Structure 1
Amino acid sequence: MNIAKRSLGAFSKRFYSSSKIVPKHNTIQDIRDKYNAGTPLSMCTAYDFITATWVNKANCDLLLVGDSLAMTSLGYDSTITLSLDEFKYHVSSVCRAEGPSLVVADMPFGTFESDISDGLKNAIDIMKLHSKVTSIKVEVGSYIKDKYAMRFIQELCSRGIPVMAHIGLTPQKVHSLGGYKVQGNKSLLQMQELFETAKQLQKIGCWSIVIECVPHKMAQFITSKLSIPTIGIGAGNGTSGQVLVISDLLGMQGESVPKFVKQTVNIRDIATKGLKEYITSVEDRTFPEKDSHTFKVKDDLWNEFLSSTNHK
């Protein structure tokens, strides 16, 4: 008995001493608790360590590493051009930022369309990039027309991989949608399909759904019929929460933003002004200031140096 107790005690100590203390960040259960309490959820994109640090410091509930980084950070014309390797690089950078925000990572275009087994491998690879990656986000069309994406999502959920689905305007399918247009407002059939798609996604295991560019009434109705959180973008305030692209929200690329964006500040103008002030101070030699921005050497050492150079 005593031997067993001593052995158990030793094991417990070894187990405890080898455990790594990981900074706390939101879990899916934390998000569910907030949703069940009726408190709106906040979500914002981030694409690197700096923007992720801002999002975490602001205590945003969720942080999305979206494939929109293709256009906002890398200068591509669309999200479709983004490669998986480029995306992984940014996910890893985001996850190095400390803070509470639950990290959701997109499945970029081409990472699951060719084959479900390849898609599963890519999803697992993204999840394994860092322990902070808690969920995958997958864009999906109508449950009737996009049976493949529905099947892929079901495969992910059946393997215990948390999935946030994305319906309505899905940028990866912009060509098949005929452009960046509001969804669920053209016909009764389209509205019915959108609603049924949301219900099917909940049924197959999605823990939340992003609803993009859908009429307010439609998004509110869908939200009221589901028992999982909905995150709206251009879908009104009847959803469980909101998500915005950080470069739109903070004016990092100027004042031209989509209708549904509330721009809280114009960082591009602030940054440009700061850079102009810097350039002016360089040109007029007011920067660097001798006392504020430079380093010193002791006079006796400096004189010794000068004397040594005079003999050469």
Structure 2
Amino acid sequence: MWSNGMIRCIGRRWYSLQNSSAVAATAKAVHQLTVKDIMAKYHRRNPISMVTAYDYITASWAQNANSDMILVGDSVAMCSLGYESTTQLSLDEFQYHVGAVCRAPGPAFVVVDMPFGSFERSISDGIGNAFQLLHLNPKVQAVKVECGLSQDDYSLEYIKELVRRGISVIGHIGLTPQRVHSLGGYKAQGGQQSTDAVALYNVSQTLQQIGCFGIVLECIPHKISSVITDKLHIPTIGIGAGPDTSGQVLVQSDVLGMLPGHKPKFVKMFADFKKDAVSALSQYVQEVHDKSFPHIGHHTFKVNDEVYQDFISKIDTE
């Protein structure tokens, strides 16, 4: 039997770590959005919101903010792991983050990237890796695949095979970071020559034809994106593609101002977490140094006087 004192401890967080599993277990059951829900929102012409997340904390924020979709993006490579490029991210590393994101309770539709190297070796390897990501958690409902502009691009064949096997796919065209070297850098696509814009349009139509239920349009002039969106019967999610797409996606660390350095033109920073975090941590460090933290009584635990005196008497006799 537990003592009354032990019972009173239940539900209180004595340590600086919170049991996320317990939080998830006690959360109310919610309906997770499905492809059908996303398509219904598209047909009602309601804008679709998507934001990236890389761990339990950022996924919890996205869920609590009621984002329709969460993208576990390979941008975790640069935004969380300190790599210079998304191409450095391994599938094993990526799976760790997918699992963490999915442990956050909430209704958002979860999409995961197919990281660089996870499908390029062969169709069969790519299919196996896609299933591996889907097997991590039932919340993972779709994969996102970056595509080139050639009609015989390998990624189109891969996407077709995924769809044939019942895997929901979102295509990604325009600026595709995994192909940044072949694109000549991080540049807007489709605005210099009409042939490039036509190629974007054609591949968007192909992606719809082979079964994608949505397409990310990245760094494409808004007039071109508007036409592409208007000619499709599936939603487009824009990032640097203007306001006329069916929805928008941004990288969470950009939205919240988590990292220093240059922000892309298409980013709006809605907070300055880096400034606030450094300020808060600096205050903590200063209070540790001047011993104003922790404060006795407010940040400390009590000991029974008799227990304390007994403790002192025992150590004094040793």
Alignment TM-score, normalising by the size of structure 2: 0.90
2:200 to 194, 197, 214: 194
The Cα of 1:300 is off from its aligned counterpart by 1.3
1:106 to 91, 113, 119: 113
Residue identity opposite 2:306 in structure 1: D
| Aligned residue number for residue 256 of structure 1 | 262
| Aligned residue number for residue 97 of structure 2 | 90
DSSP 3-state at the match of 2:277: helix
Q: Identity percentage over the alignment?
A: 53
| Aligned residue number for residue 219 of structure 1 | 225
The Cα of 1:22 is off from its aligned counterpart by 5.7
Residue identity opposite 1:193 in structure 2: A
The Cα of 1:255 is off from its aligned counterpart by 6.0
DSSP 3-state at the match of 2:70: strand
| Aligned residue number for residue 6 of structure 1 | none
DSSP 3-state at the match of 1:275: helix
| Aligned residue number for residue 266 of structure 1 | 272
DSSP 3-state at the match of 1:91: helix
- Following the alignment from structure 1 to structure 2, what is the Cα–Cα distance between the partners of residues 71 and 310? 56
| Aligned residue number for residue 85 of structure 2 | 78
1:65 to 72, 76, 92: 72
Residue identity opposite 1:164 in structure 2: I
1:151 to 157, 169, 186: 157
| Aligned residue number for residue 205 of structure 1 | 211
- Following the alignment from structure 2 to structure 1, what is the Cα–Cα distance between the partners of residues 222 and 313? 79
CA RMSD of superposed structures (Å): 1.1
- Following the alignment from structure 1 to structure 2, what is the Cα–Cα distance between the partners of residues 98 and 250? 21
The Cα of 1:305 is off from its aligned counterpart by 1.4
- Following the alignment from structure 2 to structure 1, what is the Cα–Cα distance between the partners of residues 153 and 84? 28
Off by >4 Å, runs of 4+ in structure 1: none
| Aligned residue number for residue 283 of structure 1 | 289
Residue identity opposite 1:310 in structure 2: D
2:239 to 194, 214, 233: 233
Q: Does 1:124 align with 2:124?
A: no
Residue identity opposite 1:183 in structure 2: Q
Q: Does 1:243 align with 2:260?
A: no
- Following the alignment from structure 1 to structure 2, what is the Cα–Cα distance between the partners of residues 103 and 205? 18
Structure 1 unaligned blocks of 5 or more:
1-20
- Following the alignment from structure 1 to structure 2, what is the Cα–Cα distance between the partners of residues 143 and 167? 11
| Aligned residue number for residue 57 of structure 2 | 50
1:43-99, CA deviations, whole angstroms, 9 ceiling, x for partnerless residues? 000000000000000000000000000001000010000000000000000000001
- Following the alignment from structure 1 to structure 2, what is the Cα–Cα distance between the partners of residues 73 and 286? 32
- Check whether the contact 1:254–1:266 (CA below 8 A) recurs between aligned residues: no
The Cα of 1:310 is off from its aligned counterpart by 2.2
The Cα of 1:307 is off from its aligned counterpart by 1.6
Residue identity opposite 1:49 in structure 2: Y
- Following the alignment from structure 1 to structure 2, what is the Cα–Cα distance between the partners of residues 22 and 140? 36
Alignment TM-score, normalising by the size of structure 1: 0.92
- Following the alignment from structure 2 to structure 1, what is the Cα–Cα distance between the partners of residues 30 and 44? 25
Alignment of 1:13-52 (within 5 A): 23-52=30-59
DSSP 3-state at the match of 2:45: coil
| Aligned residue number for residue 299 of structure 1 | 305
- Following the alignment from structure 1 to structure 2, what is the Cα–Cα distance between the partners of residues 292 and 204? 62
- Following the alignment from structure 2 to structure 1, what is the Cα–Cα distance between the partners of residues 314 and 135? 59
- Check whether the contact 1:143–1:196 (CA below 8 A) recurs between aligned residues: no
Q: Does 1:169 align with 2:169?
A: no
Structure 2 unaligned blocks of 5 or more:
1-27
The Cα of 1:25 is off from its aligned counterpart by 1.2
| Aligned residue number for residue 10 of structure 1 | none
Q: Does 1:135 align with 2:135?
A: no
Worse overlay, 238-247 or 253-262: 253-262
1:244-297, CA deviations, whole angstroms, 9 ceiling, x for partnerless residues? 000001000036311100100010110000000001111111100001000110
- Following the alignment from structure 2 to structure 1, what is the Cα–Cα distance between the partners of residues 316 and 164? 79
Residue identity opposite 1:295 in structure 2: F
The Cα of 1:189 is off from its aligned counterpart by 1.1
The Cα of 1:186 is off from its aligned counterpart by 1.5
